[in-house]
Chain A
Amino acid sequence: MAGQGTAGVTKLRLKLGTGGAAPQPAPAAATAAAINRRRQQASQQQQGDEDYQPGAEEEEDEDVMVISSDDDAEAYATALKADEGSSDEYDSDDAAEARPSKAKQPRKPSRGRGAAGNSAAGSTRAVKPAAKRGAGRGGGAKAGGRGRAAATSGRRRQHSELGEDVDLEDAFESDDDWVEGEGGGGAYRLGAGDEQFRDFSGLELKPDHFNRPLWVCPDCRVFLETFSPVYKQAYDFLIAIAEPVSRPEFIHEYQLTPHSLYAAVSIGLEMSTIVGVLSRLSKNVLPPEIRAFVKGCTQNYGKVKLVLQQNKFCVESAHPEILRRLLRDPVIADAAQLPAKAGAATGGGGGVGEVAAAAEFQVGAARRDRAVADLAQMEEIDLAGEEDDVATAATAAAAAAAAAGGGAAAVPPPPRPSYMLDAVEEDPDRELHSFEVDPAKVERVKERCLPDALNYPMLEEYDFKNDSLNPNLGIDLKPNVQHRPYQDKSLSKMFGNGRARSGIIVLPCGAGKSLVGVSAAARIKKSCLVLCTNGVSVDQWQYQFEMWTNLQKNQVCRFTSQQREWFDSPAGVCITTYTMVAFTGRRSADGERIMQQIMSREWGLILLDEVHVVPAAMFRKVLGIVKAHCKLGLTATLVREDSLIGDLNFLIGPKLYEANWLDLTRGGHIANVQCAEVWCPLTREFAREYLRPGATQTQRQLLYVMNPAKLRACQFLVQYHEARGDKVIVFSDNIYALRDYAIRMRKPFIYGATGHQERTRILHAFKHNPAVNTVFLSKVGDNSLDIPEANVLVQISSHAGSRRQEAQRLGRILRKKKTRPGRGEGTAGGQVVPQGQEEFDAFFYSLVTLDSQEVYFTAKRQQFLIDQGYSYKVIPSLLEGPGVEVSGLLLPTKDEQLDALAAILAVSDADLAEEGAEEVDGLESLQKRVATRRTAGDMAALSGAAGLRYLEYSTGGPGGRGGGGRGGGRGRPAGGGKLAKMAKKYG
């Protein structure tokens, strides 16, 4: 009991007896992610309850407590003798770096002393277990590399900024659990349940490690210190080669995966560069495993490119022997159009301006010079290494004899090329070989090259400048358009070599993804197809194109169920939805005609908005229908609870760039959001019904969503923020609750069945009418809804444990706000908006009913954002703080609460299922058709067949599609099918 880390821990106390078992060993995990998570848990706990229990606390901090004593451990002292001087020197240097973060600390005073300390300590914890281990084990002079280094790091951080934390750690110094564990076991073991623990104490540390920002572990994890002077360069490099796992404030965790290395190769990095830079940035000598892993992953990737140029498909490679090997394969040999053994070999590239084609034969490959793709990239990254070396030399002259610097001579860094660079430089030292492929057999060639066959996965590139077959589009960005640095970076990854690469760009919501998309279209200057998730975002994209570019209205057309437009010019931009394109049923004549247009033409670029939303099967279909030379996916959250996005790598392309949320927040590009978790206890009656064995899953969900405490909390927050002049969005996945809340509180609401016009009207009122400050949204509002005005978000129910939904919802308020005068002053309840803090732009409240499944789901949902470095503040008793005015809130008396309960229980499962189905169908189409005309179409509408275009909102599938009978006055909760699925999934 006391061994539980979570909220509910301390509830049961027995007057008789000991109050729980002895604390179990900490499930200490040495990953930054784990740290982060526990930091959150700890903060939950600490500020959570008055009946604070040391037992539970100890568990959280066990791995921390040793540090202060560890500081002086002799192992550490002797081992670091050599480093001592320079380490101190670094400290002073570091002070400047540390200051900003130090300044941030007071941001969360409301968490209480412990929590504030914790958040600062969070980053150091990543290394502490190792530090401890280093001291405990190494004993002598040969302290493990990592352990030693970690100790330094821990120490340094403690010196520079953990002042407040010391008390906390001292307080637990007397915990003897550790001593026992250590002495008894011989081999030091962290918590028994910790499978992630790995011993890296054998790694060798470089003498000047303190100047280098990375820890590279043999298991392919990489840790990055964000307070390092070369953090920016190191980040740019790491994000190109590794998958970010967790990016809290001070230490990031990355993981090298085959996919990430594939992506690295595809943007032009080579194995030698990857290993070289990694080893240059690494504090420890690069483990041989890493070298082998990188080599294994990259030796085949990226060697072969499929380039479309001059409207011919060419297989291109810098390595003729690989082409030869490919040509030995019968399938490829069949598809290859080898030039006749005469001078015609230049056919592939002869006319290309930038190509100096030399007609030499190498197994039929036309040999020619061409600018090697990724000069820009490589130099940029070399530069990162270079600067590191310089920094090394400067700050640690004594230890400057870099052990493994890969000491490249300091070349003056070339001016950084912009992605707009048109002239592709030629590289006389490198040659590319290529042969042409029969267009009809391109697919088969691609397949043959996949890992399960020849294992030379092809990169696809589009040489758009030399594509004379497809008409150009006169599209240019307006001169006043300015890109933010990260937008530039992502575009430069895409157009690194003057050709267009397919891939995915990951930017937080509100960070200007559309501008990246529009810029890409403006760069390629060919027809462009934009696919988005719903009609509202179609309109938004059209607006974006008109805002950022010089395109005329008639060159940007929309293709939705309402608007079926087509451009007259030979090239243009078409914006539509995934469902419109993938729709298989009968279309109207107009729709059919436009669809033919879409299918018959070759698109220069296909922009896939919110790629995470659409399952791979849909993509496959869409990409099968539409012929596009280059695919660019945009998203903020590349996570899904199902594994449906695993294929995106191959369907669209590798991830080209991913921005760090915290960096963008610091840079002022996105709003600074305060995330909060508001605890709402169940009342006795609700708890009883919730626990009742006969209660169905649906009813339970309804009970915890409709919990009176939650309603009151929601109402309080809405009132409070409205009074501050904020714009509030309330999210509820549960339609019944959505309606009930909205009607009780007299606010407008939008859900799946709300018509397009009404939606637009409500949203317009929300944006412009000062009297409408709150809107209730169901999950239709999760994605792509651009409401820049909103700055407060209250979440009352959600789709189980979906991390993506949480992040997407946060995205609704992430857009940078215009600062409004005279706000942020009012404080109610002391807890809601703590005074004297760094001002937050926006607030994200998750209301959680305690002791229900929601606790579990909430914790799961938060993982993604926590990994992005967000921390959740826990508000355990919103309404009980001093000065909180609760008199005006709904459901004040027990009787009223019981009425509400009765109403909920009266909603039968059948009703719910039916209403859920109706939600899928789309009431809109039903109402409209019935009202206007009576044709055979009615049956389709009534039976649900006409609702296909609303499938994008459905998660339950067509299972319970009833007759669309509109249930009684009460609401329409989400479908029973979904819940059943959810229940199955989460037990």
Chain B
Amino acid sequence: MVKATAGVLVTGDVALIEFIRWLNESQLPAERFIINGSLDDTHLFIKESKVEFVQKKVDEWQQSLRFEPSAREHQ
């Protein structure tokens, strides 16, 4: 029987997808959001309700890798 689930397809590069997987695994089992994680290296199918959460976390993650030279010292 055909089973259909609504969700969101996430496209990203390898590391980012890996990050979302890791994010998924760090959730409680009930909170996990990946519907299908075995598409390929650059795609994931996740629950729509969690999109915002994922975006937020990804933002935070990327922000943490971003250098903000505003706190430059003038000697």
Within 8 A of A (CB), among B43-75: 48, 51, 54-55, 58-59, 62-67, 69-70, 72, 74-75
Check B74–A245 contact: CB distance below 8 A.
yes
Give the CA-CA distance A6 to B45 in the complex, in Å.
26
Q: Which residue of B lies closest to A685 (CB)?
A: B18
Check A33–B69 contact: CB distance below 8 A.
yes
Check A8–B62 contact: CB distance below 8 A.
yes
Give the CA-CA distance A259 to B73 in the complex, in Å.
14
Check A16–B16 contact: CB distance below 8 A.
no
Q: Does B35 contact A (CB under 8 A)?
A: no
Check B66–A855 contact: CB distance below 8 A.
yes
Check B51–A14 contact: CB distance below 8 A.
yes
Tell me which residues across on chain A come within 8 A of B67, comparing CB atoms: 801, 855-860
Residue-wise interface mask of A (673-711) relative to B, using a CB-CB cutoff of 8 A (1 in contact, 0 not): 000000001111001101111000000000000000000
> Nearest Cβ distance between residue A14 and chain B, in whole angstroms?
6
Q: Which residue of B lies closest to A260 (CB)?
A: B75
Knowing A16-B8, A859-B67 touch, does A684 contact B74 (C-beta < 8 A)?
no
Q: Which residue of B lies closest to A682 (CB)?
A: B15
Knowing A1-B55, A4-B63, A853-B65 touch, does A17 contact B8 (C-beta < 8 A)?
yes
Check A15–B13 contact: CB distance below 8 A.
no
Check B62–A684 contact: CB distance below 8 A.
no
Q: Does A255 contact B (CB under 8 A)?
A: yes
The residue among A13, A196, A646, A691 with the most chain B CB atoms within 10 A of its own CB is A691
Give the CA-CA distance A454 to B8 in the complex, in Å.
71
Tell me which residues across on chain B come within 8 A of A8, comparing CB atoms: 16, 62, 65
Within 8 A of B (CB), among A99-149: none
Q: Which residue of A lies closest to B54 (CB)?
A: A12
Check B19–A851 contact: CB distance below 8 A.
yes
Knowing A1-B59, A13-B11, A856-B66 touch, does A255 contact B19 (C-beta < 8 A)?
no
> Nearest Cβ distance between residue B37 and chain A, in whole angstroms?
12
Within 8 A of A (CB), among B10-41: 10-16, 18-19, 21-22, 26, 41
Tell me which residues across on chain A come within 8 A of B63, comparing CB atoms: 4
Q: Does A762 contact B (CB under 8 A)?
A: no
> Nearest Cβ distance between residue A58 and chain B, in whole angstroms?
18
Knowing A687-B14, A688-B18, A691-B19 touch, does A15 contact B66 (C-beta < 8 A)?
no
Knowing A243-B74, A683-B14 touch, does A6 contact B65 (C-beta < 8 A)?
yes
Give the CA-CA distance A254 to B41 in the complex, in Å.
49
Q: Does A257 contact B (CB under 8 A)?
A: yes
Contact of B12 among A11, A29, A855 (CB under 8 A): A11
Q: Does A970 contact B (CB under 8 A)?
A: no
Tell me which residues across on chain A come within 8 A of B48, comparing CB atoms: 16
Give the CA-CA distance A693 to B48 in the complex, in Å.
26
Check A688–B22 contact: CB distance below 8 A.
yes
Check B70–A682 contact: CB distance below 8 A.
no
Within 8 A of B (CB), among A1-54: 1, 4-6, 8-9, 11-17, 20, 27, 29, 33-34, 37
Q: Which residue of B lies closest to A643 (CB)?
A: B73
> Nearest Cβ distance between residue B5 and chain A, in whole angstroms?
13
Give the CA-CA distance A11 to B58 in the complex, in Å.
10
Contact of B22 among A4, A691, A850 (CB under 8 A): A691
Give the CA-CA distance A245 to B69 in the complex, in Å.
13
Total interface residues on A, CB under 8 Å, equals 52
Q: Does A497 contact B (CB under 8 A)?
A: no
Give the CA-CA distance A914 to B63 in the complex, in Å.
34
Tell me which residues across on chain A come within 8 A of B75, comparing CB atoms: 243, 255, 257, 259-260, 646
> Nearest Cβ distance between residue A906 and chain B, in whole angstroms?
21
Knowing A4-B63, A687-B15 touch, does A863 contact B69 (C-beta < 8 A)?
yes
Q: Which residue of A lies closest to B63 (CB)?
A: A4
> Nearest Cβ distance between residue A293 and chain B, in whole angstroms?
14
Knowing A4-B59, A12-B16, A688-B18 touch, does A855 contact B11 (C-beta < 8 A)?
no
Q: Does A852 contact B (CB under 8 A)?
A: yes
Check A11–B13 contact: CB distance below 8 A.
yes
Give the CA-CA distance A856 to B12 in the complex, in Å.
20
Check B66–A859 contact: CB distance below 8 A.
yes
Contact of B62 among A9, A196, A646, A687 (CB under 8 A): A9
Check B51–A17 contact: CB distance below 8 A.
yes
> Nearest Cβ distance between residue A233 and chain B, in whole angstroms?
24
Give the CA-CA distance A851 to B58 in the complex, in Å.
11
Q: Does A195 contact B (CB under 8 A)?
A: yes
Tell me which residues across on chain B come within 8 A of A245, comparing CB atoms: 72, 74
The residue among A9, A12, A195 with the most chain B CB atoms within 10 A of its own CB is A12
The residue among B9, B11, B41, B66 with the most chain A CB atoms within 10 A of its own CB is B66
Give the CA-CA distance A5 to B43 in the complex, in Å.
23
Q: Which residue of B lies closest to A860 (CB)?
A: B67
Tell me which residues across on chain B come within 8 A of A16, comparing CB atoms: 8-9, 48, 51
Q: Which residue of B lies closest to A21 (CB)?
A: B55
Give the CA-CA distance A688 to B18 in the complex, in Å.
6
Tell me which residues across on chain A come within 8 A of B58, comparing CB atoms: 1, 12
Knowing A688-B22, A855-B66 touch, does A257 contact B74 (C-beta < 8 A)?
yes
Give the CA-CA distance A500 to B22 in the complex, in Å.
63
> Nearest Cβ distance between residue A560 and chain B, in whole angstroms?
34
The residue among B26, B58, B67, B70 with the most chain A CB atoms within 10 A of its own CB is B67
Check B12–A681 contact: CB distance below 8 A.
no
Residue-wise interface mask of A (843-856) relative to B, using a CB-CB cutoff of 8 A (1 in contact, 0 not): 00000001111011
Tell me which residues across on chain B come within 8 A of A693, comparing CB atoms: 22, 26
Tell me which residues across on chain A come within 8 A of B54, comparing CB atoms: 12
Give the CA-CA distance A14 to B51 in the complex, in Å.
9
> Nearest Cβ distance between residue A815 and chain B, in whole angstroms?
28
Knowing A257-B75, A863-B72 touch, does A687 contact B19 (C-beta < 8 A)?
yes
Q: Which residue of A lies closest to B13 (CB)?
A: A11
Q: Which residue of B lies closest to A51 (CB)?
A: B11
Tell me which residues across on chain B come within 8 A of A646, comparing CB atoms: 75
Knowing A16-B48, A687-B19 touch, does A37 contact B69 (C-beta < 8 A)?
yes
Check A684–B41 contact: CB distance below 8 A.
yes
Knowing A16-B48, A17-B8, A693-B26 touch, does A851 contact B59 (C-beta < 8 A)?
no
Q: Which residue of A lies closest to B40 (CB)?
A: A684
Residue-wise interface mask of A (378-401) relative to B, using a CB-CB cutoff of 8 A (1 in contact, 0 not): 000000000000000000000000
> Nearest Cβ distance between residue A243 and chain B, in whole angstroms?
5
Residue-wise interface mask of A (223-251) relative to B, using a CB-CB cutoff of 8 A (1 in contact, 0 not): 00000000000000000000101000000
The residue among A4, A37, A687, A688 with the most chain B CB atoms within 10 A of its own CB is A687
Knowing A681-B14, A682-B14 touch, does A195 contact B70 (C-beta < 8 A)?
yes
Check B18–A29 contact: CB distance below 8 A.
no
Give the CA-CA distance A195 to B70 in the complex, in Å.
9
Knowing A4-B62, A691-B18, A855-B65 touch, does A15 contact B11 (C-beta < 8 A)?
yes
Tell me which residues across on chain A come within 8 A of B55, comparing CB atoms: 1, 12, 14, 20
Tell me which residues across on chain A come within 8 A of B19, comparing CB atoms: 687, 691, 851
Give the CA-CA distance A646 to B73 in the complex, in Å.
12
Tell me which residues across on chain A come within 8 A of B12, comparing CB atoms: 11-13
Give the CA-CA distance A355 to B66 in the complex, in Å.
62
Tell me which residues across on chain B come within 8 A of A29, comparing CB atoms: 70
Tell me which residues across on chain B come within 8 A of A856, comparing CB atoms: 64-67
Q: Contact residues of B with A, CB < 8 Å? A: 8-16, 18-19, 21-22, 26, 41, 48, 51, 54-55, 58-59, 62-67, 69-70, 72, 74-75
A-B contact pairs, 6 of them (CB 8 A): A4-B63, A6-B65, A681-B14, A691-B22, A693-B22, A858-B67
Q: Contact residues of A with B, CB < 8 Å? A: 1, 4-6, 8-9, 11-17, 20, 27, 29, 33-34, 37, 193, 195-196, 243, 245, 255, 257, 259-260, 646, 681-684, 687-688, 690-693, 801, 850-853, 855-860, 863, 987
Q: Which 3 residue pairs are nearest across A and B when measured between Cβ atoms? A: A859-B67, A851-B15, A687-B18
